[in-house]
Amino acid sequence: MYLIKVIFLLCLIICLSVLSCNYYKNSEPVFADKLKITKIDSIKIRPALSKLERNLIKMNLKNVKDLLPELIIELKYSTDDNFIGFNVYGDLTDAYLQDECIEKLVIAYNILQEELPGYTFIIYDAARPLSVQRIMWDSLYVHESRKHWYVAHPDKGSIHNYGMAVDITIACPEGKPLDMGTEFDYFGELAFPRFTQKFLEEGKLTQEQADNRILLINIMERAGFTVARTEWWHFDASSFVYAKEKYQIIE
């Protein structure tokens, strides 16, 4: 009886083994060569959007690169190379603006191509959240009474907070910014556009630096922008009142 049981079990094991082998032989192996593989290099790979960028898109602001891919985007507040000394934009590396501000920028770019074919613009800042404005205000190392010359008071807000201002310069075809006499975010009178002629006469600006500044301001004004009183790189696409009435502030 014991022997019959052992023989039966052995037969059962052999049958099961044969069946399972056949099953795996007949079933489709799930290997890559049988799957439809999407070629990754054919997809435009883009890192996940940051929270700030998602918010800008939600607020209907547009990525400048979508309309002007020729522009160089170098958001200074997305690096440690700014007057605050650290990154306040996180992963944001694209410039966002309101549609009507980008439309004016397209006009400015076309004028630049007529004046200096092959040259482009570098954008240093565009839409900026109010939270960053507060950090800037607190970080600014000038007398309290003069802070508003350089950064709008966070309680009042800046036109950047509505996506209607851009910080910009001109770059040569090799991508190098033209010499404007001061760096971006230079906090002093030498950056004041209205003193360009005076500083040229005093020898504080060279003829080339003055000409470059005049060229930038002239192109931007012809496109409908207004230059800031104290910063040769800052241009408004509308009045502050208009931006405030028409658009929601970026918190």
- For Zn ion, the binding residues (CB under 5 A) are 167, 234
For the CB of residue 173, give the shortest distance to Zn ion in the complex, in Å: 25
Q: Which is nearer to Zn ion, 169 or 200 (CB)?
A: 169
Q: Which is nearer to Zn ion, 112 or 227 (CB)?
A: 227
246 Cα distance to chain centroid: 23
Dist. CA 238–CA 159, nearest whole Å: 9
Q: Which is nearer to Zn ion, 82 or 200 (CB)?
A: 82
Determine which helix (DSSP H) or strand (DSSP E) holds 17, and give its type and residue range. helix 2-26
Q: How far is the CB of 125 from Zn ion (least distance, A)?
A: 6
Of 74 and 167, CB closest to Zn ion:
167
CA distance 98 to 237: 9
Spatial CB neighbours of 235, under 8 Å, sequence gap ≥ 6: 165, 166, 167, 168, 220, 225, 226, 227, 228
Instruction: Determine the Cα–Cα distance for residues 218 and 210; give it in Å rounded to an integer.
Output: 12
- In angstroms, give the least distance from the CB of 95 to Zn ion: 12
Determine the longest span between alpha carbons in the chain, in angstroms: 119
Closer to Zn ion at the Cβ: 116 or 224? 224
Q: How far is the CB of 90 from Zn ion (least distance, A)?
A: 19
In angstroms, give the least distance from the CB of 114 to Zn ion: 26
Q: What is the DSSP secondary structure assignment for residue 84, as one 8-state letter?
A: T
